């Protein structure tokens, strides 16, 4: 049983609409990197097009300025696109200047935020404090990237759950998962949301699969591929 809300992470319209038809997908997230890889050139046009179809589940769009005043202008504009829109704000700009003051101002104005690219507990505490008890908000920790450094993200994520629990309007996101196991891990520690790419989502039917049966399926795959390749010794 899946114990965490699954948000689909991507910017391919066809994938997003296909996943929108899946009741297991409770929301959506995007970012400028995903949008660039999808070939999107008109940011607002893409967002408004998606929102014309996906209007009853949370969806996050990210600001892309590196200056806080312009981030704020972009955030207010993005927030105006729909009641289900969350505005993604990076935890800092490229100069390593924290975004906490901006986060606080926007939260106090009632903007639904998704604070992104968090990787430390210190950042988590500061972001949570800045969000406070205002609008619904997401605290997005890049657990997958933490794992990429050789560190186990589970203890950090478990402590982050406790930090966010102090504010009922805040939900913790396990971002950038690397494997299906992360969905199970996120649920076991009480994480609210996990963002998952379509390639990992394709593996959802494997959750709970009998390992003996899976072993046999694997043997059949190897045999079938060898036969199809017409290998000879």
Q: Where are the domains of the chain?
A: 5-228
* Residue 34: how many other CB atoms lie within 10 Å: 16
pLDDT band at 125 (very low <50, low <70, confident <90, very high): very high
- What top-level class would CATH report for the domain 5-228? alpha beta
Nearest to 125 by CA among 87, 86, 93, 172: 172
Q: Examine the pLDDT at 81 and tell me if it is beyond 90.
A: yes
pLDDT band at 189 (very low <50, low <70, confident <90, very high): very high
**pLDDT tens, residue by residue, 155-183:** 999 999 999 999 999 999 999 999 999 99
User: pTM to 2 decimals?
Assistant: 0.95
Q: What is the largest CA-CA distance in the chain?
A: 72
Q: Examine the pLDDT at 1 and tell me if it is beyond 90.
A: no
pLDDT computed for residue 23 by the predictor: 95
Mean pLDDT, rounded, for 200-220: 96
d(CA 13, CA 49): 9
Nearest to 25 by CA among 72, 59, 49, 50: 59
Q: Examine the pLDDT at 95 and tell me if it is beyond 90.
A: yes
The rounded mean pLDDT for the chain is 97
Backbone angles phi, psi at 152, to 5 degrees: -80, 115
What is the SS3 assignment for 87?
strand
Residue 89 near residue 115, CB atoms below 8 Å: yes
């Amino acid at each position: 049983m899946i114990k965490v809300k699954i948000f689909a992470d991507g910017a391919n319209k066809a994938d997003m609409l296909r996943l929108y038809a899946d009741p297991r997908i409770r929301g959506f997230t995007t970012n400028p990197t995903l949008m660039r890889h999808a070939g999107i050139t008109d940011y607002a046009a893409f967002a408004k097009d998606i929102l014309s179809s996906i209007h009853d589940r949370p969806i996050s769009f990210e600001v892309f300025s590196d200056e806080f005043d312009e981030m704020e202008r972009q955030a207010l504009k993005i927030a105006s696109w729909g009641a289900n829109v969350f505005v993604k704000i990076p935890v800092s700009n490229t100069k390593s200047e924290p975004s906490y003051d901006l986060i606080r101002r926007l939260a106090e104005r009632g903007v639904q935020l998704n604070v992104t690219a968090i990787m430390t507990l210190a950042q988590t505490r500061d972001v949570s404090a800045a969000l406070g008890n205002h609008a619904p908000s997401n605290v997005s920790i890049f657990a997958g990237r933490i794992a990429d450094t050789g560190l186990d993200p589970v203890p950090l994520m478990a402590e982050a759950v406790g930090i966010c629990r102090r504010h009922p309007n805040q939900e913790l996101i396990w971002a950038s998962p690397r494997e299906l196991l992360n969905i199970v891990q996120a649920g076991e520690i009480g994480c609210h949301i996990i963002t998952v790419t379509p390639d990992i989502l394709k593996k959802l039917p494997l959750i709970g699969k009998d390992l003996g049966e899976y072993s046999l399926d694997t043997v059949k795959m190897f045999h079938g591929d060898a036969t199809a390749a017409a290998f000879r010794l």
